Amino acid sequence: MTRAGVALGASALLLACAGCTAGDGFSEPPPGLGVTVFQHRLDYAPRVLEVRLENGAGTTLDVTSVAFRSGRFDGAAVDPDGVTLTPGRAVALRIPLPASLCDASDPDPAVVDVTWAAADGSRTARLPAVDEQGVLDRINDEDCLAAAVDAVARLSMPERLRTEGSGAARRAWVDVSVEPAGGERMLRIDGVRPTTLLDGPAGTGWPLGLEVRADDAPSTIPLEIVPARCDPHAIAEDKRGTILPFEVAVGDRSGDLDLVPGDDLRGEIYAFVAERCELPTG
């Protein structure tokens, strides 16, 4: 581990244990136990939170279960399997999050309940979940924006890519469906930002400037796509290039709404980019 990594780990341990107290049926936390939460970009779509446990003590800690709780989410996110933490070991547990709560004006702070095996039986401590990157606010904001959008209209990716032509002259469209939900609210779709893999024909994403009302008729947004890059690693190293970030606003909520393609559409997009860029296949 680098010196910067050691310093960051030590800082997280100090921050976590600064708020560690027993009470309400909880035990004092084990000495040196630190808890942080974070999220990798590949975890955005499946809504998985990583809870990192670090054992800064000189003895092994047998963790039997971990439960993340926050006033921003409906219920606990639990990893019932546990993990054995030898001295100095750090492990990140991937835990699916429950649904977000969007009407909590003053949500309870995030905590992690850690249960471990002690000589005199099982014990549980409640520790603050150190969120150095602000991922919990971001996840909650994204979830609540998506819920506000769905209350006006459901935006969904097609099952297949629409194409014409072949080779370097091939053209393709992602036909996004818009299904209004009924009611009186309005959704503004300013545009779609380009990704690391895809762009609009003009090279500026897809400016739209659309207003969708909940009582509108169903419609389709045809997005013509072109490769944003044609180097040989464009597809092999892609992680989120097929996810289209819609710039939307509903009431006082605004931000990016990511539309994730299904496996068939993702595969067809990759095939289109390879054909359009005349990349070798096989």
* In the predicted structure, residue 8 carries a pLDDT above the cut 90: no
Q: At 92, which helix (H) or strand (E)?
A: strand 90-96
Confidence label for 3 from pLDDT (cuts 50, 70 and 90): very low
What radius of gyration, in Å, describes the C-alpha atoms of the chain?
A: 23
Mean pLDDT confidence for 125-151: 95
Q: State yes or no: pLDDT of 12 exceeds 50.
A: no
Q: Per-residue pLDDT tens for 105-128?
A: 777 899 999 999 988 889 999 999
d(CA 160, CA 271): 12
CA angle, 160 as apex, 157 and 163 as ends, to 5°? 115
Tens digits of residue pLDDT in 180-221: 998 889 999 999 999 999 999 999 999 999 999 999 999 999
The CB density around residue 73, as the number of other CB atoms within 10 Å, is 23
Report how far residue 85's alpha carbon sits from residue 96's, in angstroms, rounded to the nearest whole number.
Answer: 22
Amino acid found at 266: R
The pLDDT value recorded for residue 273 is: 95
Tell me how far apart the alpha carbons of residues 1 and 242 are, in angstroms, rounded to a whole number: 34
Please say if the pLDDT value at position 22 is more than 90.
no
pLDDT of 16 over the 90 cut: no
Q: What is the pLDDT, as a whole number, of residue 281?
A: 67
Strand partners, 155: 178
Q: What is the pLDDT of residues 72-110, one digit of tens each?
A: 999 999 998 989 999 999 999 999 999 999 986 777 899
